[in-house]
A and B are shown apart, each in its own frame.
Chain A
Amino acid sequence: MNSAISVKNLTKTFRTKTREAGVSASFKAIFKPNYKKVHAVNNISFDVKEGELVAFIGPNGAGKSTTLKMLSGILFQDKGECRVNSLDPQTQRKQLAFQIGTVFGQKPQLWFHLPAIESFNLFSKIYELDKEEYTKRMLSLVKKFEIEDLIHQPVRKLSLGQRMRCEFVLSLLHNPKVLFLDEPTIGLDVVVKKTIRELIKKINKEDNVTVILTSHDIADVENICNRVIIVNKGKIVYDGSFERIKKQYLAKKFVKVLSETPINSFEMKGVEIVKKTKFSIELEVNTKETSMGKLIDFLTKNNTINDLSVEETPVEEVIAEIYQR
């Protein structure tokens, strides 16, 4: 398979003005601003294969959006190279525009005052689409995203979730090979988030569109992406499958036991007692050292168990731990 996106030693440094608080400092800043260098993206390299669905996650200011902007040609890198569909975004922005679609959760691209259908029609002209093909594709997308009833209302009257679905259709009209999604689920409720996730998966599968998405919501990633790139402070700190994160970092389980008979303390390799009362006990188990079956066997033999629950470490915590390394 060809690589849809290749990034080599990409580096971007911003010079930002800093200003102290206060009136006099504000005046001073007008004439003599202080500059601070920020390494937004610091020497990152990765490859994305055609048809892959990759999540780009990281805390605020980690460099996710900066990278997406460089890939779409609206921000120039200081050092390094990137190719999207073997085009150089910096010099071939116009050709590239025909091949990429973008959805920014925070930057709507639909015309705010007009119905979405007007924006769709406009894009069909801007992207030089064949009229018949466009109509066919538009109708099928509209059906897929279930926005039949929405496209004739002014966009400003739609809810955020409805608007996002329209944004998706807009970004897909010209049949892009690569889709950049910058926080596509931001501000959406749980149900809409789920719908959007399903749709992203569907587009990726059915049209073989390469998707890169950034998000703060780990659930987005967990549910749709098989590959995760975690960035922090401009560097890649993890690049691999989501499963591997789970295996590597989710070996710890929390077990809560309620018993009808009093529980005694016990010792077992890889098991730590977190909290104990007369009839209940909370344990932290490292499943690499002791299997869950062995522990439960032991517990049922020695106690009359009323209730037992097993919990994983929340993925958020795991990711936060990776950030901090």
Chain B
Amino acid sequence: MGKFSGLSRMGFKTGIVYRAHFFVSLIKIPLTLVVFFYLWRSIFMFSGEEIIQGYTFAEMFIYYVLSMLVGTLIYCDVDAWMNEGIKDGDVVGDFLRPVTYMKQLFCQYFGLRELTFLIEVIPIMVVSLFFLNVPLPSLLFGMLFILAVFLAILLNYFFTFCVGLTAFWLKEIQGIRRVKTAVMAFLEGALIPLTFFPLIFQSVFKYLPFQYLRFVPINIFLEKYALSEVVVLLSIQTVWILIFFFIAKTVFKLAFRKFAGAGI
């Protein structure tokens, strides 16, 4: 536990070092939300419908507020850290420690999540509660939402770690990362709710891990599911975490063998 908190503290502290960066990131989310607000207001006005794909205008806006919130909380760029470390050889230092690489990165990532929670998420929550009239879910669904987000943080980490591992073979994975970001914006439900996609796509999404990162937690908050459905979804989410955890572990072994065999 000492190692864990030690490393996560470091992630936290590194994140807070640069004050300007810190304050600018505070206005990023409100700004984006203003854009989405006006975009969807005009879409609803022109269509003349009260409900589009199961969402009222109010719900749609809340969807984006929550999307920002969840997206910020689960944001993970360990693949970029890994890419840098492998390219300039700094991973050597990480490998010399008596803690596994995956654990070291996770702790730093988690520390940054704590920081994000304090400086980015709490302001959004305060603003949405007092100014945007975001309706709160029942206590039960609220708790389930928190659980789902927590699991999404884990899922995103292990998935991103797997992506980062490719850098051991490819050295430069910026291209892969850009494609990943673009594709995931769709598959997570960050750009538009997944219900906007044709049914065929939606049935495919069900079998992918990505909807569990954003779309599912948000809709738990909006109470779009029955309780029994939520239980099933959270179980599948957990299974995905385990799958990526084992992939990450196995591939890391191969990656290390490659690294130690060929050098860099």
- Interface residues in chain A, defined as those with a beta carbon under 8 Å from any beta carbon in chain B: 14-15, 40, 66, 69, 72-76, 90, 93-95, 97-98, 100, 102, 104, 107, 109, 111, 113-114, 118, 121-122, 124-128, 154
Closest 10 CB pairs of A and B: A125-B6, A97-B98, A125-B2, A76-B260, A109-B93, A113-B17, A122-B6, A74-B95, A94-B98, A125-B3
Q: Which residues 1-57 of B sit at the A interface, judged by CB distance below 8 A?
A: 2-3, 5-7, 9-10, 13-14, 17-18
By a CB distance below 8 angstroms, the chain A residues around B93 are 104, 107, 109
By a CB distance below 8 angstroms, the chain A residues around B98 are 94-95, 97-98, 126-128
Flag if B90 contacts A76 (CB, 8 Å). no
By a CB distance below 8 angstroms, the chain B residues around A118 are 10, 13
- Interface residues in chain B, defined as those with a beta carbon under 8 Å from any beta carbon in chain A: 2-3, 5-7, 9-10, 13-14, 17-18, 89-90, 92-93, 95-99, 257, 259-263
With contacts A14-B263, A125-B6, A126-B3 known, is A102 near B96, CB below 8 A?
A: yes
Flag if A126 contacts B263 (CB, 8 Å). no
Flag if B6 contacts A107 (CB, 8 Å). no
Partner of B262, one of A14, A102, A127: A14
> What are 18 sample pairs from A and B whose C-beta atoms fall under 8 A apart?
A14-B263, A73-B95, A74-B259, A74-B260, A97-B96, A97-B98, A98-B98, A100-B96, A102-B96, A107-B92, A111-B10, A113-B18, A122-B9, A125-B2, A126-B6, A127-B98, A128-B2, A128-B3
Flag if A126 contacts B7 (CB, 8 Å). yes
Flag if A114 contacts B14 (CB, 8 Å). yes
Question: Interface of chain B, helix or strand or loop or mixed?
Answer: helix
Flag if B263 contacts A69 (CB, 8 Å). yes
By a CB distance below 8 angstroms, the chain A residues around B96 are 72, 74, 97, 100, 102, 109
Closest A residue to B2 using CB positions: A125
Partner of B6, one of A14, A73, A93, A121: A121
By a CB distance below 8 angstroms, the chain B residues around A66 are 263
